A = this chain, B = another copy of it.
Amino acid sequence: MTMARRIVAEGLGTLLLLVVVVGSGVMGARLAGGNDAIALLGNTLSTGAGLVVLIHVFGPISGAHFNPAVTLVAVLRRELGAADALGYGAAQVIGAVLGVWLAHAMFAEPVLQVSAHVRGGWGQGLAELVATFGLIGTILAVSKHRGEFTPVAVGLYITSAYWFTASTSFANPAVTLARGLTDTFAGIAPASIPLFIAGQLAGALIALAVFGWLLAEDPA
């Protein structure tokens, strides 16, 4: 694949991921009559199913990272060069922001917003650490042992993690930044973003170490 196609795939895929996350959050909150568990059920179903599709669509082109934490791990494992990684990261952030704005336009919301939803406390940071640890571990283990199942595994992982983490599992710095720009169900106040991204990076690095050891070939 040419680099142009790979960059466009990362950007368009991340854009559509944010349309899914933010759009289904708006739909859920509008229809659920104030019951956030019902809104989260719709949000979860849409995000999990959508991720499986998006990774199948864009995976053969760019690898379907959609996530700077995943791209960082690929660089540290020497599977991607630093220059390519910068392109991937820029495409992910730009795509994510455009996706939020497209979701707003569809739902006739003001395009430009800033979230007022504070998600603070160290439990939230720990939750993002756990969420990203699990996401990176899932990708490393399943791509090694049964690669064709990885897209479904990632979709199921996020389906599960929306409920088992206290933070509803952002697990993605580009997604976190962009969700700062929506004051709807999926939003996060800018003040809470550094804690989330710190937790995500810590979780990714711990997963790299733990699963690096767990998945190593035994010495002969």
Interface residues of A (CB under 8 A from B): 1-2, 5, 8-9, 12, 16, 19-21, 23-24, 26-28, 31-50, 52-53, 56-61, 102-103, 105-108, 121, 123, 126-127, 130, 134, 137-138, 141-142, 145-146, 148-149, 153, 155-157, 159-168, 210, 213-215, 218
Contacts and interface: CB of A to CB of B under 8 A. Distances in A.
Contact of A35 (B35, B40, B146, B164): B35
A134 B164 contact: no
Contact of A164 (B50, B57, B121): B50
Main secondary structure of the interface of A (DSSP, over half): helix
A35 to B, nearest CB: 5
A211 to B, nearest CB: 9
A203 to B, nearest CB: 12
Contacts of A27: 40, 163-164, 166, 168
A152 to B, nearest CB: 8
Which of A12, A134, A218 is packed against the most chain B CB atoms within 10 Å? A134
